[in-house]
Amino acid sequence: MGLNNQWMQRDLAVLWHPCTQMKDHEKLPLIPIKRGEGVWLEDFEGKRYLDAVSSWWVNVFGHANPRINQRIKDQVDQLEHVILAGFSHQPVIELSERLVKMTPEGLTRCFYADNGSSCIEVAMKMSFHYWINRGQPAKKRFVTLSNSYHGETIAAMSVGDVPLFTETYKALLLDTIKVPSPDCYLRPEGMSWEEHSRNLFAAMEQTLAEHHDTVAAVIVEPLIQGAGGMRMYHPVYLKLLREACDRYGVHLIHDEIAVGFGRTGTMFACEQAGITPDFLCLSKALTGGYLPLAACVTTDEVYSAFYDDYPTLRAFLHSHSYTGNPLACAAALATLDIFEEDNVIENNKALAQRMASATAHLADHPNVAEVRQTGMVLAIEMVKDKASKTAYPWQERRGLTVFQHALERGALLRPLGSVVYFLPPYVITPEQIDFLAEVASEGIDIATRDKVSVAVPKDFHPGFRDPG
């Protein structure tokens, strides 16, 4: 028995993995990773895998980055953790100062959580509580986009709309209002992204006109709907939404957990619309992919609604044990240093262009409906019929075939259903991008053959997207 197999057997005896049907691992080997370096992950038998999905979208500057490593090592010798209620520490103060400085004007206060889902809950609770403190308790509903995903805690699921993640838990979810997404994959032939996104805003305008008296906030994933299949839309939608939220007296929550810190081509996606949301939710790349940390950055207007004498009970009594953890804040500070010192956003433009050119040929593939890109995120949508954009039945798990082929070739490509995507660390080289394009092309060719290589179960939830 090889080392990988030994570790796999020990794992399967005791672990329950996230977003996984564990029975898959009766046939699909689990891959234990021993070490990482740069864009590479290495298993216990020395095989390497290029991490094309940044280990669930968190890693920006490579595994075992020496600059982030050193900052954490220095911090662990000084202070590992302290309660953030009534106490503070240098890393969290410096990180908050830098986030306020680098985020859009008007965002002045940082509230910390442990992960993206919890950060969404913070923003939703703050908005809801704000309206109570301002004497408008009827404003307690949330408006969200179809096909959206904001996390997997209860409130975060409530504002999501990917049935695979929400259908089972319907009875637990909040009553939210969903409007059609400006997703440009669905635009009519010949229509531009901007025109389609403008047209789709009419539904949001009508919803706010009818329901603003009972709506606390609108929540969106700006520019890219990640777990919904890397679907993308034009920044004009965000500009129109900001104007409408101001008009109707509704908060705007931007979930930039996946798309912040350069993924869309600018440091934050909202910059491309020239707007400031009322709440900016950040996580994932915030610590360079090292440690769990999330920041909900908001305005003085929101902050002031909670600032009062204690007996009024207007305070925001929300907490996490590891709020503002010094080690995580140190990793975040090192990550921000790299952004500042290495001209990352500008350098990414050349990498994004290489991703586009390396995959351009796939636009002509008979089973590829679209190759779309926003900044450092590129997605390739496989379909059964190109002309009609008819999707493959999700049960066929075509993306799984691409995933398995990529592993054989030494790449971690974990498609979202039939959507193959690149979301790599920013330290990737042009040659490594070419390698990923080659592997993806081969995998798509194999996956779109008429014969499906995996068993197809009986229909359970039509229209669900298998996460790959």
Amino acid at 14: V
| Known binding-site positions for substrate | 56, 149, 284, 319, 414
pLDDT at 226: 97
Neighbours of 418 (CB within 10 A): 30
pLDDT at 462: 35
pTM value is 0.95
pLDDT at 454: 46
Residue 19 backbone class (left: φ over 0; alpha: ψ -120 to 50; beta: rest): left
Q: What is the rounded CA–CA span in Å between residue 245 and residue 248?
A: 5
Q: What is the rounded CA–CA span in Å between residue 270 and residue 248?
A: 20
* CA-derived radius of gyration, the chain: 22
> Residue 1's pLDDT band (boundaries 50, 70, 90)?
confident
| Known binding-site positions for pyridoxal 5'-phosphate | 116-117, 255, 320-321
> Residue 432's pLDDT band (boundaries 50, 70, 90)?
very high
- Record the tokens describing residue 108, joined without a space: 């002045």
pLDDT at 73: 98
pLDDT digits (tens, 9 = 90+) for 168-192: 999 999 999 999 999 999 999 999 9
C-alpha distances out from residue 319 to 59, 118, 125, 297, 323, Å: 26, 10, 12, 15, 7
pLDDT at 306: 98
Q: How far apart are the first and last CA of the chain?
A: 28
Checking if the pLDDT of 453 tops 60, the result is no
> Residue 451's pLDDT band (boundaries 50, 70, 90)?
low
Checking if the pLDDT of 464 tops 90, the result is no
Q: What is the rounded CA–CA span in Å between residue 65 and residue 290?
A: 10
Q: What is the rounded CA–CA span in Å between residue 154 and residue 443?
A: 36
- Record the tokens describing residue 274, joined without a space: 């020239």
| Known binding-site positions | 56, 116-117, 149, 255, 284, 319-321, 414
- Record the tokens describing residue 99, joined without a space: 């986030």
Checking if the pLDDT of 456 tops 60, the result is no
Q: Could you give phi then psi for residue 452, rounded to 5 degrees?
A: -90, 135
Q: Could you give phi then psi for residue 458, rounded to 5 degrees?
A: -65, 150
Are residues 124 and 155 in contact, defined by beta-carbon separation less than 8 angstroms?
A: yes
Q: Residue 466 gets which letter from DSSP? A: -
Q: Which helix (H) or strand (E) holds 282?
A: strand 279-282
- Record the tokens describing residue 103, joined without a space: 């985020």
* CB contact set of 270 (below 8 Å; sequence gap of 6+): 104, 222, 238, 254, 256, 276, 277, 280
* CB contact set of 38 (below 8 Å; sequence gap of 6+): 62, 63, 64, 425, 427
